[in-house]
Amino acid sequence: MSLESIIENAHLLLHITLNANVGFAEISADREKLIFTNKEKELLKWLERLESLKNQRREQEYALQIQKHMSTFNLVETANEFRLKEEIKKKEKELALLRTKNMVKDKVIGSVEIGRAILSSLYSSNSGSHVSCLTKLVNERDSLVSEFLTSHQELLKARTELAKLQQSVIMCHNDNRELTRKIKDVRSQSSASTSADLNRLQRDLSEAEAKLEVTKNVLQDLILESGVNWVADEHLLKLMLNIGKEI
């Protein structure tokens, strides 16, 4: 018989005792106050004990749900950390590409400057063709310098984003370490307490079942010896049928 059946039988017995008064309680001399017998008091104590065991089981189930929730949260944090690492790799590749472009542009600018110096030394006259060629080279140099400055700004932006990502990863690592520590503490505390609680709960349930078996026999005798036609009484009939079930 389950805990729910035990509690239902106990409540049914209490209802019959308070309303029918068919041998389960005695009425005092002034007939104003019900006095429970020792068996009835013992049964009520068992009912309270069963309710306490049921509450303990709820608390343990809640603790297991907390552990499951903490494990799920840890998996989510690990996924976020992996995403940040992938983002950092992407930014590092972009940074390396920008650096390569800047190196090429530096060499081009250097070559243009060298060519300008060579042209100036070879053609000292201010002929129109020479000036036009030199002007063209200067304009190309200015264009390359402009592109270089633009690339440099992009490089600075990429470095800033990379620094932010690295800071986010550091914070994520710190949070994960703290979360891991808390999970270990909860698991270490819960593993010891849960095992002891479950063993104690099993013992208490076994004792309650044994006591209920004895009480079942006592209740049957009390109903039969009371002289009441329990077959015709709906509540007593239901109680006798429930008592007859195996635990």
> What structural domains and CATH numbers belong to the chain?
3-244 (1.10.287)
pTM score: 0.30
Do the beta carbons of residue 50 and residue 5 sit within 8 Å? no
Report d(CA 6, CA 210) in Å as an integer: 12
Do the beta carbons of residue 51 and residue 7 sit within 8 Å? yes
CA neighbor of 171 nearest in space, from 30, 77, 104: 77
**Structure confidence by residue, pLDDT tens digits, 37-93:** 676 667 777 777 777 887 888 888 877 877 776 666 555 556 667 777 778 778 787
**Structure confidence by residue, pLDDT tens digits, 9-27:** 666 655 555 554 444 444 4
**Structure confidence by residue, pLDDT tens digits, 202-245:** 777 677 677 767 777 777 777 677 666 777 777 767 777 777 66
For 166, list phi and psi in degrees, rounded to 5.
-65, -40
